[in-house]
Amino acid sequence: ITQNSNECLNSIIWSIFSKTKNHGYRYIRGAAALACIYFNQGRSGLLEFFKDIDIDVNDELINTILGKDQECLQKSIVATQKQNDIRERKNQTRFESTAAEANTSEYGGGRH
């Protein structure tokens, strides 16, 4: 799903767990469900979950969550742009290389 180990679903699930105790099936299932919401919808996806289980969400929490999602989105846009730039440079280099190989105008081919 992603190559960044900090963003992979497994990493998100394990970040929810306490590292100092064992967890049962229900806890693991719940953590996996929360991780799926977070992974697919970002932090803002958790707001609806909080509402469903009657956790009061104040404006500060909403602004923090939306701000963090916006930061993540901006990082993603920058990373995608860098990847596109690299891909474009590689394509341009390939094109120039192919054009140079095909250009035989300076080659005399044994003519004297």
pLDDT digits (tens, 9 = 90+) for 14-64: 777 777 888 888 888 888 888 888 888 888 888 888 888 888 889 998 899
Q: How confident is the model at residue 111 (pLDDT cuts 50, 70, 90)?
A: low
CB count in 10 Å sphere of residue 98: 10
Q: DSSP letters along 77-105, please?
A: HHHHHHHHHHHHHHHHHHHHHHHHHH--T
Token pair belonging to 17: 């767990």
Residue 40's region, left for phi above 0, alpha for psi from -120 to 50, else beta, is alpha
pLDDT digits (tens, 9 = 90+) for 64-90: 989 999 998 899 899 999 999 999 999
